[in-house]
Structure 1
Amino acid sequence: MEPYEKICELYRRIESKTAAALPGPYKVGVDLGTADIVLVVTDSNGMPVAGSMRWASVVKDGLVVDFRGAINIVAELRAEVETIMGVKLDKGATAVPPGTVGRNAQACSHVIAGAGLEPVCQVDEPVAAAKVLQIKDGIVVDIGGGTTGIAVLKNGELVFTADEPTGGTHVSLVLAGAYHISFEEAEKMKQDSRRHREITPVIMPVIEKMATIVKDMLTGFDGYAEYPVYVVGGTAYLSGFAGAFSKAFGRQVEVPPHPLLVTPLGIALFG
């Protein structure tokens, strides 16, 4: 199964709340995002088996700010997927924005441990996405809620990572200010695909800023202009995002289907 087919299969499993009839052992990945938490299970070959997600606000700019709330949500997702699959899940992998170290990085592992999953691995978020997309030579841009991270791969090896504090949260803040609504209402507006055409002109400066940040992070990195660029993360789901980002970035970028699920699936592959 090709990478994009795997992503679409995971989406179908989450939407239908069903599990693929694939044998274990299984791999588990937990993505603690700023706007959502996703738990994904694959078989030993990386084929999606099941998953579940919750919109949440327990993480800010890559930092866990509601430890107990995060544990409770991961525990709920674990229980839900265990029921769907009919098996017990006991180990899992997590991911953090590039450059997250010390206790900030450890917090993610502590969260899944508190939810009953023994932490087995922790990776950079864009690296997890790159694994799903099977990138040998290319660039992954992972736009999270609070940060935008990049990973550059050459001959299948990670040669550069960076992270800057601009993401989906900033899109919501702009919407909240423009429409004089609460941040929570802005989040819901952003998630409503029927409103995307309307809000695109409002959030265009934020998308352009994201593209400029990525371009600046890559300044001085020899040869990057020849590498394909993939953009993942929930913000990339916005209608017209790929075109707007490409124009500001200076060349075409590719947005995989269901970009919100790419990194969670990649985390599971490291499980």
Structure 2
Amino acid sequence: MKDNPIIVGLDIGTTKITTVIGELAEGGGVDIIGEGTVHSEGMKRGSVVNLERATHAIRQSIAAAERVSGVQVDSVYVTVAGNHAKAITSHGLAAIRRNQEINVSDVDRAIENARAVPLDPNLEIIHTLPQEYVVDGQEGIKSPVGMHGVRLEVDVHIVAGTAGPLLNLRRCVQEAGVQVEGFVLHALASGLATLEAAEQSQTVIVVDMGGGTTDIGVFKRGNLAHSASIPIGGEHVTADLAQILKIPMEEAENVKRKYGAAIPELADQDLTLEITTASGSTHAISAFELSRIIKPRLSEIFSLIRDEIDHTLGPVELVAQGVVLTGGAALLRGTSDLARDRFRLPVRLGRPRGIGGLTDIVHGPTHAASVGLVLYGIGEDGKVPHIVFQDEPLSAPQVDLPAPLPATPPAPAPATSAPKKEGVSLVDRLRNAFKDWM
């Protein structure tokens, strides 16, 4: 636990930069006392592409949060997008002298041995996250200190970032007038803010759908056990609309948010839009057809997530008990329904919880990562602080139920649909087996 009661999170994304200032309350809770969100500049897919513009936007975001809170920010925790981060799981071992209790130094020795893996010299370790421990073959141990045994083992999830992008991020933050307290993987921060108490005993997939990337975190009994990133996000959906409708990106973003849906059947069937192209010509498009442009790109994102988990951990239906969607792109109508169809698992929209203060401002999925940075700063061990769960029942999490689809005649498949593969794979058989689950 930090001695300083003020913790600041700085979420630097492709489309927005958000600063959240948190304070440890006297009763042990966490109050959000400051927030500042500005349009992101100089960033692309989590990496700095223009130092001066990125620094300016970061300075604006921090200043906005300082004005709200009345607190001067000296240091911040900063998100790192997974597109330039590498993650591996390493095994560590420590021998314990007979008739001796396992102590903290023994645990540190096992973790340090797990860290002693050859890494590319261009990588900088961001996180060393212990999973569960094993003492003399007994698995599932969360804290081995005080136990007896002669063999202590631990699996450690190691996250390392490419040194160049991390140096550029650090330089931008420092030139904005503050120091970097630490870097935090984006998926880890989002999970810390959105996972509920009941999910701490399950395996849950957290999908943070940002503007330039979609970050994935697989949490097993509250520990980040796997992480990855897809270089596609909500901005690509906007780009598809801008390209096909021949309109500017800003207008395409507004059209997407106001009238778009991830599933065409959920769009307003009676709505027709008048679109004015950049050349000045006007044409009409229905909300249904608009959503038919949106769906293939979101389907691609979820398919890539499935492929990543299927190939790394096994069929997603057997690996996890649920999916939590968060991030700005997850707010599009019907996104949870489309994800439920692709993953064949319960899906819910993840929002920050367990906090007080400016909850009306930071309650949405867009603030998951920035609030998660504050929670990380409180615990500094990669786990949700227990104070966040103090008033939360250990019951099954609420799942977003699929919205009823209006009766419409089947529409022809979009031209961009990929041809189906011949044969039936293991994953396809599992998907068929889970069709009746809903």
Work out whether the TM-score is over 0.5. Answer: yes
Who wins on radius of gyration, i.e. which is larger?
2
Q: In the alignment, is the contact (CA less than 8 A) between 1:34 and 1:56 conserved in 2?
A: yes
Q: Which has the higher helix share?
A: 1
Aligned residues: 247
- Per-residue CA deviations over 1:4-34 (Å, capped at 9, x if unaligned) read xxxxxxxxxxxxxxxxxxxx72111111111
Pairwise CA distance, 1:107: 2.1
Q: Mapping of 1:222-241 within 5 angstroms?
A: 222=314, 224-225=316-317, 226-241=320-335
The structure that is strand-richer by fraction is: 2
Aligned partner of 2:248 in structure 1 is 182
SS of the aligned residue for 1:88 comes to: coil
C-alpha distance after superposition, 1:19-73 (max 9, x if no partner): xxxxx72111111111111111111343322201012242111111121112112
Do residues 91 (structure 1) and 91 (structure 2) align? no
User: Is the aligned partner of 1:111 residue 2:177?
Assistant: no
Report percent identity of matched pairs.
Answer: 27
Contact 1:60 1:145 in 2 (8 A): no
Which sits farther off after the overlay, 73-82 or 210-219? 73-82
Q: How much has 1:254 moved relative to structure 2?
A: 1.2
Corresponding position of 2:238: 172
d(CA) in 1 for partners of 2:57, 2:341: 38
Aligned to 2:298: 207
For residue 127 of structure 1, the aligned residue among 153, 176, 188 is: 188
Task: For residue 254 of structure 1, give the secondary structure of its aligned residue in structure 2.
Answer: strand
| AA partner of residue 184 (structure 1) | E
Is the 2:21–2:69 Cα contact (8 Å) retained in structure 1?
no
Alignment of 1:34 with 2:9, yes or no, is no
**1:204-226 superposed Cα distances (whole Å, 9 cap, x missing partner):** 00111111011111114158533
Return the alpha-carbon distance in structure 1 between the equivalents of residues 315 and 343 of structure 2: 16
Match of 2:79, SS state, is: strand
Structure 2 letter corresponding to 1:84 = V
2:258 pairs, out of 183, 187, 193, with 193
Letter in 2 for 1:86: G
Structure 1 distance, partners of 2:242, 2:341, is 25
CA drift of 1:200 comes to 2.6
CA distance in 1, matches of 2:216, 2:22: 24
Shift of 1:188: 3.2
CA displacement at 1:149 relative to structure 2: 1.6
User: Deviation string for 1:187-207 (max 9, x for gaps)?
Assistant: 3333x4355543432200011
1:105 deviation in Å?
2.4
1:227-261 Cα distance to aligned partner (Å, 9 max, x none) = 22111111101111111222123333211242111
* Change in CA separation of 1:153 and 1:168 when aligned onto 2, cut-off 3 Å: same
Residues 162-210 of structure 1, C-alpha deviations (whole Å, 9 max, x = no match): 11211112101111022111223223333x4355543432200011111
Tell me the amino acid that sits aligned with residue 56 of structure 2: N
| Aligned with 2:342 (options 226, 236, 248) | 248
Matched-pair contact (CA < 8 Å) for 1:193–1:238: no
Contact map agreement 2:306 2:316 (CA 8 A) in 1: no
Q: CA deviation at 1:150?
A: 0.7
User: Superposition pairs for residues 29-68 of structure 1, below 5 Å?
Assistant: 29-44=9-24, 45-68=29-52
Q: Counterparts of 2:374 and 2:13 in 1: how far apart (Å)?
A: 15
Structure 1 SS opposite 2:349: coil
CA contact (8 A) 2:8 2:22 kept: yes
Alignment partner of 1:49: what SS? Answer: strand
Instruction: Between 169-178 and 221-230, report the one with greater CA deviation.
Output: 221-230
Aligned match for 2:310, one of 209, 219, 224: 219
For 1:39, the aligned partner's letter is T
Q: Would you say 1:151 and 2:245 are equivalent positions?
A: no
CA deviation map 1:83-105 (0-9, x unaligned): 22222111101011222421112
> Equivalent residue for 1:21?
none
TM-score (normalised: structure 2): 0.53
Query: Contact conserved, 2:321 with 2:346, CA < 8 A, in 1?
Result: no
Name 1:72's counterpart in structure 2: 56
The answer to whether the 8 Å contact 1:29/1:270 transfers is no
CA RMSD of aligned residues (A): 2.0
Q: Measure, in 2, the Cα distance between the counterparts of 1:189 and 1:53.
A: 22
